[in-house]
Amino acid sequence: MRIAALYDIHGNLPALEAVLEDVRRAGVDRIVIGGDVIPGPMPRETFDRLMDLGTPAEFIRGNCEVAVLAAMAGDDPGRMPEQASEVVRWTAETLDPVHGRLMASWPRTLRLEADGLGDVLFCHGTPRDENELLTRLTPEAAVLPAFDPIDAQLVVCGHTHMQFDRTIGKVRVVNAGSVGMPFGEPGAYWLLLGPGVDLRRTTYNLQEAAARVSKTRYPRSQEFASRSVLHPPSEAEMLGLFTRGTPEGGGAGAAG
């Protein structure tokens, strides 16, 4: 089975639309949506598109779904910067209960068989915590307990919005990158599995996408258009922030 893994879309519908065109051309058998579909500038439209993929799809829950679900229930979405709290609250108010029920049904992890790769475990941050930060520079000792018990040949994660391919203990770990809120070169990042591991970047019309984002009612639409579409922060900048332990932004700042 050939699998496309799409992570951290963050309501960036133009980026998702472009990636889905590449996914269609790749002829995959299954799509995995790896969490953090939201928050972002076009949450309802992004959900609608994902519910009509035309290809069998599986979803897992990211840290941002957890936060938005808490806000929809009137609970504390967790400790995060005020800018992240603002967009989480806005997203919770924008979505319908049916969206909440969908997100609540998504598991934290998922296992599938991929051609040439065997058993693949999909998670958001790490297998033990959707909020855990993992980059190509994270010391192995810090995360080895999260991967030591895993009996899959490959683990696919996201959350830190930067692609990598590394080994932790005996497990190959690949980050799919971010479709809608990348760190590094502009574009939409995703992963194709089977028979190998193919880290992909889809280019799309950034100016047009930024214009669409700017016209939304998203509280931080101009910032998103600039920092997530046109001029994303560099990998070096974000790796430095993560290394210093900067608090996560729940999809609006450091990690989603």
Instruction: Classify residue 100: in a domain, yes or no.
Output: yes
In a domain, 104, yes or no: yes
204 falls within a domain: yes
Alpha-carbon distances of 239 from 41, 174, 197, 236, rounded to whole Å: 25, 16, 23, 5
Residue at 51 is within a domain = yes
Whole-number mean pLDDT of the chain?
A: 93
Whole-angstrom distance, CA of residue 122 vs CA of residue 174: 10
* Sheet of strand 164-168: strand arrangement: 110-114, 118-122, 154-157, 171-175, 164-168
Percent of the chain with pLDDT over 90: 87
With a pLDDT cut of 70, the percent of the chain lying above it is: 94
> Could you read off the pLDDT of 93-149 as tens digits, one per residue?
999 999 999 999 999 999 999 999 999 999 999 999 999 999 999 999 999 999 988
DSSP label at residue 232: P
Cβ neighbour number for residue 134 with a 10 Å cutoff: 27
> Of 197, 235, 229, whose CA–CA distance to 213 is shortest?
229
110 within some domain: yes
Distance CA 24, CA 246 (A): 37
| DSSP structure class, residue 176 | -
Q: Which two tokens stand for residue 154?
A: 């490959």
Domain that holds residue 183: 3-118+176-243
Give SS3 for 188: strand
Number of domains in the chain: 1
Residue 89 lies in a domain: yes
Token pair 């760190």: residue: 183
Bridge partners, residue 157, by sequence: 175
Instruction: Identify whether 38 is part of a domain.
Output: yes
Domain of 11: which CATH number? 3.60.21.10
Residue 25 CB contacts under 8 Å (≥ 6 apart), including other chains? none
pLDDT band at 79 (very low <50, low <70, confident <90, very high): low
Chain Cα centroid distance, residue 158: 5
Asked, for residue 94, whether it belongs to a domain, the answer is yes
Closest CA to 33 of 92, 101, 95, 110: 110
Band of pLDDT at residue 85, cut at 50, 70 and 90: confident
